[in-house]
A and B are shown apart, each in its own frame.
Chain A
Amino acid sequence: MGYALVLVRSASLNLEAFARATGTHPDLVRRLVALDILDADRDAGGELWFAPSQVVVMGRVQRLRAGFGLNYAAVGLVTDLLDRIAVLEATLREAERPGR
């Protein structure tokens, strides 16, 4: 059914819309997808589609780059590590919870 795909699409952003939403250049966005820092789906025509959550990811990439002068490969490593730490901290909090 065609419109199921359309429904998913309506929540996603194409490359231009994503670049506009994040105030970045489409070339940079394409590069970050290639570096596996941004997640994107490629449709049959090869066009990139971004989930809205990736806008937040892009913000973090920009802040880390601006704050530490990291190159994009390093940004990928740092975001991975930060995500892993967040999961570990959440698990730790859960385990330390008083009560039962």
Chain B
Amino acid sequence: MPGGPRAARRDFYEILGVPRTATQDEIQQAYRKLARQHHPDVNKDPGAEDRFKEVSEAYDVLSDPQTRRRYDAFGPDFRQVPEDVDPEAFRRSRAGAGTAGGAGGGGFGTGFGGDLGGIDIEDLLGGIFGGRAGRGFGPIPGADQEAELELTVEEAFQGGHRSVTLEGPDGRRTLDVRIPAGVTNGQRIRLAGQGGRGSEGAPNGDLYFVARIAPHPRYRVDGRDLYVDLPLAPWEAALGTSVGVETPRGEMKVKVPPGTSTGKRLRLRHHGLPHPRGSAGHLYAEVRIVVPAKVTDEERRLFEQLAEVSTFDPRRR
């Protein structure tokens, strides 16, 4: 439940990043800074909302000198300690309960009885925006969240499922994200209702995964088009040939016409990324003429012979 007590609570001072001796001004300053940083409408990161809530809750307690004193004296369970309890007596009783009941939170109730006198923790902690800010605003829908999802070219081509783990209010949650075949860079995959939590029954926001296609050693991606290098020997480029080109679907034969120079793009129609509701992108093999770093005597003789015979001048204007 939003605002409910959590299993492992962090120290409020630690949450705000201030020492226990901090002044009210320092506490306020730390809170304002963190709130601006983590507000779910400013920060789309799925973890931001929980940090914002944590920060608000910490501030709610530490900004009021009286609750702060009680927090300092009684720790995270201070709300369950009756008003008239002496801090010293509490410390002694807790030390006893701690050894008897074992370490860990929620154990001290043994000393003071489990009855909280009808205090509703939910009510005390407020809704999604925790504490003072959350009261009196009625139901507030959750914010949309955004996370980046890095995909390989192969995943974008074939589609599939990806298991994504996110930090959530109740610990980690693992989501199964269906990646549609032909997803492109920047495209958003929507998971309805998986975003920020709404308060008081208001609807949750949506979670969007923004697809980011990772750099690939072989393919360059532009929209749905793919580009690959096609290295050719000078004679292959001059005479024409048929060579194998790697595509996400496997190797394809490409016909290189005679007289092909570096920079020429050979198009493999619709062999780029698929389009769920249209025609697929193309795959372009970009010709790059490569010469041997070392030539044999025989090759040298033949190149020299070619140089003598040929009238071709690549720099002729």
Q: Which A residues contact B (CB, under 8 angstroms)?
A: 22-24, 55-56, 58-60, 62-69, 82, 90, 93-94, 97-100
Known A23-B138, A23-B202, A59-B140: A67·B129 in contact at CB below 8 Å: yes
Partner of B137, one of A58, A66, A93, A99: A66
Partner of B140, one of A55, A66, A97, A98: A66
Query: Apart from A56-B144, A67-B133, what 15 extra A-B contacts exist at CB < 8 Å?
Result: A23-B202, A59-B140, A59-B141, A59-B202, A62-B137, A63-B40, A63-B41, A63-B129, A63-B140, A66-B140, A67-B129, A69-B133, A94-B186, A99-B221, A99-B222
Q: Give complex CA distance A56, B143 in Å.
A: 8
Q: Give complex CA distance A65, B41 in Å.
A: 11
Tell yes or no: B107 within 8 A of A by CB: no
Query: Do residues B185 and A97 form an inter-chain contact, with CB atoms below 8 A?
Result: yes
Known A64-B39, A65-B137, A82-B41: A59·B143 in contact at CB below 8 Å: yes
Q: Give complex CA distance A15, B221 in Å.
A: 47
Contact mask for chain B residues 183-211; partner A; CB cutoff 8 A; 1 contact, 0 none: 00110000000000010101001000000
Chain B residues contacting A82 (CB-CB under 8 Å) are 41-42
Q: Give complex CA distance A60, B140 in Å.
A: 9
Query: Do residues B137 and A60 form an inter-chain contact, with CB atoms below 8 A?
Result: no
Count chain B CB atoms within 10 A of each CB in A56, A59, A63 and give the residue with the most: A63
Known A67-B39, A100-B220: A62·B215 in contact at CB below 8 Å: no
Closest to A86 in B: B44
Q: Give complex CA distance A90, B138 in Å.
A: 33
Partner of A99, one of B129, B141, B202, B220: B220
Instruction: For residue B248, give the distance in angstroms from its CB to the closest CB of chain A.
Output: 15
Query: Do residues A62 and B141 form an inter-chain contact, with CB atoms below 8 A?
Result: yes
Contact mask for chain B residues 122-165; partner A; CB cutoff 8 A; 1 contact, 0 none: 00000001000110011111111000000000000000000000
B interface majority secondary structure: loop
Tell yes or no: B227 within 8 A of A by CB: yes
Interchain Cβ contacts within 8 Å, total number? 68
Instruction: For residue A17, give the distance in angstroms from its CB to the closest CB of chain B.
Output: 15
Q: Which B residues contact A (CB, under 8 angstroms)?
A: 35-36, 39-42, 52, 56, 129, 133-134, 137-144, 185-186, 198, 200, 202, 205, 215, 220-222, 227
Instruction: For residue B178, give the distance in angstroms from its CB to the closest CB of chain A.
Output: 23
Q: Give complex CA distance A59, B198 in Å.
A: 9
Query: Do residues B134 and A66 form an inter-chain contact, with CB atoms below 8 A?
Result: yes
Chain B residues contacting A24 (CB-CB under 8 Å) are 138
Query: Do residues B137 and A64 form an inter-chain contact, with CB atoms below 8 A?
Result: no
Chain B residues contacting A65 (CB-CB under 8 Å) are 137
Instruction: For residue A83, give the distance in angstroms from its CB to the closest CB of chain B.
Output: 11
Instruction: For residue A61, give the distance in angstroms from its CB to the closest CB of chain B.
Output: 9
A-B pairs with lowest CB-CB distance, top 8: A59-B141, A100-B222, A23-B139, A66-B137, A62-B140, A99-B220, A66-B129, A98-B215
Q: Give complex CA distance A59, B221 in Å.
A: 37
Query: Do residues B143 and A63 form an inter-chain contact, with CB atoms below 8 A?
Result: yes
Q: List 7 A-B contacts (CB under 8 A).
A: A24-B138, A59-B141, A60-B41, A63-B40, A63-B129, A65-B137, A100-B227
Chain A residues contacting B144 (CB-CB under 8 Å) are 56
Closest to B53 in A: A67
Known A63-B41, A94-B186, A98-B215: A68·B35 in contact at CB below 8 Å: yes
Chain A residues contacting B137 (CB-CB under 8 Å) are 62, 65-66
Count chain B CB atoms within 10 A of each CB in A68, A94, A98, A99 and give the residue with the most: A99
